[in-house]
């Protein structure tokens, strides 16, 4: 695994440069193509993609894991809800603010968490995910969180000067935030910090001897990841218009993990694939019956790790590599595809 950890985002070629542009154009176009419920789902996909991006950074680039990302979704959602409901803060300000409160929470959790081994980190965060609704329902917090009843969020005014209705406004806002976040994280992982994070993941001891402050970087990654997930939670709350303890249950944490796995942990745009998967699949499968989506998620996880450890983004990359090869010189055609090799460590 150490020989071919070159991730897709690190490779800078024409495809990588044109893909974001195409996605952004499609994103803007969708503002006027979709309507009503579809637009809400599209907003949810964007919100989840930002949250999954955070998990990708944490797990894919830095080799940590969190099965309790729901905590940060909840933190983001509740911050947005409380700011809008109780203080009348406009939504475009409440969402970034919820990123920062999540970041603070993430940093506090990271102080003990980065000391744990991967398995125990998984265990602790898994328990956090299960206990989360009880934490949120806590009587001490209920004057703020609305306790068991939850908290409704006032509908924000639409950006009418741009000729948009409310659904379009929220979607467009989510799109703008997503573009900024994806651009930031893409730059982050391509630069010096990104290499430090990968070094910590692949060779922690070597990284330490090269004067990389492992503990600092791990905490920082945890905090940034929480920031992103909190932003996602905030946007999700604005789109739904309601937050309650039961909407931040165990399943939301695991669903995020599924999205990250499906999209490919070590990919920036994989987060978008993964988010689309976890939002759209249940929509169709829940009609078949309760639990079908969940079983499909489980099967998809096992299947992904089994046959394409690099996820959907890896599949796209390998198809791309194949296409490029047939178009280019034949010299490299005998080389094995790096993206389809099994991971082993």
Residues that bind another protein (CB under 8 A): 1, 59, 63, 65, 67, 112, 115-116, 118-120, 122-124, 126-128, 130-131, 134-135, 137-139, 205, 250, 254, 257-258, 261, 265, 289-302, 304-306, 309, 342-345
Query: Which residue's CB is nearer to another protein, number 100 or number 294?
Result: 294
| DSSP 8-state code for residue 151 | E
Closest to another protein by CB, 300 vs 337, is: 300
Q: Which is nearer to another protein, 127 or 324 (CB)?
A: 127
| Residue 158 neighbours by CB under 8 Å, 6+ apart | 164, 165, 166, 168, 169
Residue 137 CB, shortest distance to another protein, in Å, is: 7
- Give min distance, CB of 93 to another protein, in A: 31
Q: What is the DSSP string of 65-81?
A: --S-THHHHHHHHHHHH
Q: Evaluate whether 178 touches 49 at the Cβ level (below 8 Å).
A: yes
Alpha-carbon span 33 to 15, nearest angstrom? 26
The three-class DSSP label of residue 152 is: strand
Which tokens sit at 144? Answer: 């703020």
What contacts 127, CB < 8 A, 6 or more positions away?
68
What Rg do the C-alpha atoms of the chain give, in angstroms? 20
CA angle 44, 48, 53 (to 5 degrees): 150
Q: Please answer whether residues 99 and 93 qualify as being in contact, where contact means their C-beta atoms are separated by less than 8 angstroms.
A: no
* In the complex, minimum distance from the CB of residue 128 to another protein, in angstroms, rounded to a whole number: 6
Please report how close the Cβ of residue 228 comes to another protein at its closest, in angstroms.
19
Nearer to another protein by Cβ, of 21 and 205: the residue is: 205
CB of 81 to another protein, least distance (A): 21
**Tokens read off for 252:** 């939301």
Closer residue to another protein in complex, CB, 128/172: 128
CB of 145 to another protein, least distance (A): 14
Cβ proximity to another protein, 95 vs 296, nearer residue: 296
- Least Å distance, CB 120 to another protein, is 5
Q: Which is nearer to another protein, 122 or 158 (CB)?
A: 122
Helices marked H in the chain = 14-33, 37-55, 70-87, 91-113, 118-137, 142-145, 166-190, 192-202, 204-209, 214-240, 250-263, 270-288, 292-307, 311-327
């Amino acid at each position: 695994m150490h020989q071919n950890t070159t991730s897709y985002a690190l490779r800078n070629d024409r495809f990588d440069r044109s893909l974001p542009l195409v996605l952004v154009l499609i994103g803007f176009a969708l503002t006027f193509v979709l309507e009503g419920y579809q637009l809400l789902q599209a907003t949810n996909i964007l919100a989840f993609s930002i949250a999954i991006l955070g998990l990708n950074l944490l797990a894919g680039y830095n080799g940590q894991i969190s099965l309790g990302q729901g905590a940060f979704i909840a933190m983001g959602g509740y911050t947005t809800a409380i700011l809008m409901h109780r203080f009348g803060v406009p939504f475009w300000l409440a969402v970034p603010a919820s990123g920062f409160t999540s970041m603070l929470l993430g940093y506090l959790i990271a102080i003990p968490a980065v000391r744990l081994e991967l398995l125990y980190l998984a265990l602790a965060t898994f328990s956090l995910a299960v206990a989360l609704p009880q934490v949120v329902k806590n009587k001490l917090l209920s004057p703020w969180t609305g306790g068991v009843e939850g908290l409704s969020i006032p509908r924000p005014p639409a950006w009418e000067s741009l000729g948009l209705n409310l659904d379009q406004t929220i979607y467009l806002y989510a799109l703008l935030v997503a573009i900024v976040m994806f651009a930031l994280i893409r730059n982050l992982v391509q630069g010096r910090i990104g290499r430090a994070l990968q070094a910590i993941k692949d060779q922690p001891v070597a990284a330490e001897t090269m004067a990389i402050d492992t503990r600092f970087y791990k905490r920082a990654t945890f905090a940034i990841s929480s920031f992103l997930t909190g932003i996602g939670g905030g946007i999700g709350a604005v789109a739904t218009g309601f937050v309650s303890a039961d909407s931040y249950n165990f399943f939301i944490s695991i669903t995020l993990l599924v999205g990250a796995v499906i999209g490919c942990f070590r990919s920036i745009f994989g987060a978008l694939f993964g988010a689309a998967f976890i939002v759209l699949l249940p929509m169709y499968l829940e009609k078949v019956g309760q639990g079908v989506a969940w079983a499909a998620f489980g099967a998809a996880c096992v299947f992904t790790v089994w046959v394409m450890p690099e996820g959907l983004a890896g599949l796209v990359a390998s198809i791309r590599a194949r296409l490029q090869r047939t178009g280019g010189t034949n010299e490299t055609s005998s080389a094995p595809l790096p993206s389809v090799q099994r991971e082993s460590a």
